[in-house]
Amino acid sequence: MGAQNGKDLLIKVDMATDGQFQTIAGLRATRVSFNAETVDVTSLESQGGWRELLSGAGVRSVAISGSGVFKDEGTDERTRQLFFDGETPDFQVVIPDFGIVEGPFQVTAIEYSGSHNGEATYELSLASAGALTFTVL
């Protein structure tokens, strides 16, 4: 995979739980982290004293964060309401020349900031809330 344009990494939300995804507007920076916990099964019998891990036993998760400016009333309102209602609708994360991660996420944090001589900005954090699918682009 060669160099990619950062603006092509998109976070999309299912606006009405009907499978129609819309890009969360105004994002300037986006980050996606894939995580997998390990389950250590090392014992006195482990060959050469090397750590042994139990394959496929750990919890997998995805964390998403983004920051930007307010651009679209619809996605701003939907994201804010998801936080207050604690809902876990489907989101899509489009990673250029890699694939699309899709599934339920919970909005775990929204932070608002601004200065007297600049625009109002926000930061958003999401945590995976169930099984995710991955589609290769």
- 92: domain CATH number is 2.30.110.20
1 in a structural domain? no
How far is Cα 79 from Cα 42, in angstroms, rounded to an integer? 43
Mind listing the pLDDT tens digit for each residue in 44-96? Answer: 999 999 999 999 999 999 999 999 988 778 888 999 999 999 999 999 999 98
- Cβ distance 129 to 33 under 8 Å? no
Domain count, the chain: 1
Q: 73 lies in which domain range?
A: 6-136
Parallel, antiparallel, or unpaired for β 90-95 and 99-113? Answer: antiparallel
On whether residue 87 sits in a domain, the answer given is yes
* pLDDT attached to residue 26: 86
Distance CA 1, CA 136 (A): 13
State the pLDDT confidence band at 7, using cuts at 50, 70 and 90: confident
Tell me which H or E stretch contains 79: helix 73-85
Residue 29 resides in a domain:
yes
3 state SS of 47: helix
Q: Taking a C-beta distance cutoff of 8 angstroms, is the pair 62, 90 a contact?
A: no
4 residue type, one letter: Q
- Which residues lie below 8 Å from residue 80, measured CB to CB, with a gap of 6+? 110
Banded pLDDT at 1 (limits 50, 70, 90)? low
Which residues on neighbouring strands pair with residue 23, listed in sequence order? 12
**What is the pTM for the complete model shown?**
0.86
